[in-house]
Chains A and B, each alone.
Chain A
Amino acid sequence: DGGITQSPKYLFRKEGQNVTLSCEQNLNHDAMYWYRQDPGQGLRLIYYSQIVNDFQKGDIAEGYSVSREKKESFPLTVTSAQKNPTAFYLCASSTGVGSYNEQFFGPGTRLTVL
């Protein structure tokens, strides 16, 4: 089945450790996105990528890094520089960035930093 997978669903880390969240899609989509969701707030864009080997900062990129070496994969690293990393992280993809292109979301990873 086509879709977006994120792993793991729940992740616990100690403060000061870097952690990488996985996002894979087999929809043949060009564009991929990472969002962060906190209680009472809308989804906020961390990074997005329109094409392989290219990515752009979103609204809250500080303390995060990404790579886009393959079309189907867009991993997100939460670094120790991120001051408040505990959140629900959602990965999404779309056929492209422009025009009518709905974003399809993965199931999310809930990260808790202890």
Chain B
Amino acid sequence: GQNIDQPTEMTATEGAIVQINCTYQTSGFNGLFWYQQHAGEAPTFLSYNVLDGLEEKGRFSSFLSRSKGYSYLLLKELQMKDSASYLCAVRDLWDYKLSFGAGTTVTVRA
């Protein structure tokens, strides 16, 4: 099984940078996903990490350390539209199921 922790809420100013941490404990690891979810809508895929290191995609970057069971999602040059919940999900090595954290609600203020 998986145990995934991420902060409940974060607040930042427009134009700033925010880092959302995710820690996990797993019996078998086969990749970590980040999704963005606006209130009442479907989650949308942001990034995928399976090897250690940083993956950069425009204003969003995601980092993974498998030995530490740790990932972060970095949001740069924050915009008001980035106000959303950010979900960390870990895929199990044995059955490939995704286990989701509770999500981090990011509020961007002007």
Q: Which residues of A contact B (CB under 8 A)?
A: 35, 40-45, 48, 58, 88, 90, 97-98, 100, 102-108, 110
Smallest Cβ-Cβ distance to A45: which chain B residue: B97
Chain B residues whose CB sits within 8 angstroms of the CB of A106 once the complex forms: 42
Chain A residues whose CB sits within 8 angstroms of the CB of B103 once the complex forms: 42
Q: Please give the distance in Å from B58's CB to the nearest CB on chain A.
A: 17
Q: Is the CB of B42 within 8 A of A105?
A: yes
Binds A, one of B13-21, B43-51, B67-75, B76-84: B43-51
A-B contact count (CB 8 A): 50
Chain A residues whose CB sits within 8 angstroms of the CB of B95 once the complex forms: 97
Chain A residues whose CB sits within 8 angstroms of the CB of B4 once the complex forms: 42
Smallest Cβ-Cβ distance to B41: which chain A residue: A107
Q: In this assembly, does B12 line the interface, its C-beta being within 8 Å of a C-beta of chain A?
A: no
Smallest Cβ-Cβ distance to B45: which chain A residue: A102
Chain A residues whose CB sits within 8 angstroms of the CB of B43 once the complex forms: 43, 90, 105
Q: A100-B50, A102-B33 are in contact. Are A42 and B41 (CB under 8 A)?
A: no
Chain A residues whose CB sits within 8 angstroms of the CB of B42 once the complex forms: 90, 105-108
Q: Is the CB of B31 within 8 A of A100?
A: yes
Chain B residues whose CB sits within 8 angstroms of the CB of A42 once the complex forms: 4, 87, 89, 99-103
Smallest Cβ-Cβ distance to A107: which chain B residue: B42
Q: Which of B8, B41, B50, B98 contacts A103 (CB 8 A)?
A: B98
Q: Please give the distance in Å from B44's CB to the nearest CB on chain A.
A: 7
